[in-house]
Chains A and B, each alone.
Chain A
Amino acid sequence: MLLREVLEPWCAAGVSGVLRVPFPPGGAVYVHDGKLEYAECPLAGGVKRLLTRPGRLKLGTWRQAVAAGRETSQVGQQLVDTGHLTRFELEATVLTAVFDAAFFLFDLTETRGFEPGTRSYLGHSHALDVAVVGHEVDRRKRLLADAWPDPAVDTMAVRPCKRLNGHSVALTALQWEILSHSDSQRTAVDLARVLGRDTYSVLLEVRRMIRAGLVEPGAPGTSSANRAFAVWRRREPVSSPRQERGTPAAKPVSQEPALSGVRIPLPRREPSRNGVAAQGPVTPPVSEEVLTRLLAGLGAW
Chain B
Amino acid sequence: MTDMESSLKEAMQIEGAIGAALVDYTSGMALGTIGSSSDFDLSIAAAGNTDVVRAKLRTLEMLRLKDSIEDILITLGTQYHVIRPLTSHKTHGLFLYLVLAKSRANLAMARHKLKNIEESLQM
Contact = CB atoms under 8 A, between A and B. Distances in A.
Nearest to B120: A88
Interface string A84-110: 001111011001100100000000000
A294 B48 contact: yes
A80 to B, nearest CB: 8
B3 interface: yes
A91 B4 contact: yes
Interface size class of A (residues with CB under 8 A): 35 or more
Nearest to A139: B47
Interface centre among B3, B27, B48 (most CB of A within 10 A): B27
Interface stretch (A32-40, A170-178, A232-240, A258-266): A170-178
Contacts of B93: 173-174
Interface stretch (A19-27, A200-208, A217-225, A247-255): A200-208
Interface stretch (B9-17, B54-62, B97-105, B108-116): B54-62
Contact of A201 (B2, B26, B52, B60): B26
A58 to B, nearest CB: 15
A179 to B, nearest CB: 14
B20 to A, nearest CB: 14
Contact of B58 (A89, A170, A173, A298): A170
Contacts of A168: 61-62
A298 B48 contact: yes
A29 to B, nearest CB: 18
Nearest to B48: A294
A140 B24 CA distance: 13
Nearest to A55: B89
Contacts of B57: 170, 172
A183 B90 CA distance: 27
Given A172-B57, A297-B51, A280 B38 contact: yes
A301 B26 contact: no
B90 A89 contact: yes
Given A88-B4, A301-B51, A99 B121 contact: no
Contacts of A174: 26, 93
B123 interface: yes
A170 B44 CA distance: 26
Given A173-B93, A280-B38, A92 B4 contact: yes
Nearest 8 A/B pairs, CB to CB: A170-B61, A294-B48, A87-B3, A170-B58, A201-B26, A86-B1, A285-B41, A297-B51
10 contacts: A86-B90, A91-B4, A91-B31, A91-B32, A135-B43, A174-B26, A201-B24, A286-B41, A297-B51, A298-B48
Interface of A: 56, 86-89, 91-92, 95-96, 99, 135-136, 139-140, 143, 168, 170-174, 200-201, 204-205, 279-280, 285-286, 290-291, 293-294, 297-298, 300-301
Given A87-B1, A279-B41, A293-B48, 13 more contacts: A86-B2, A87-B3, A88-B3, A92-B31, A139-B43, A140-B29, A168-B62, A172-B26, A204-B26, A286-B39, A294-B47, A298-B48, A301-B51
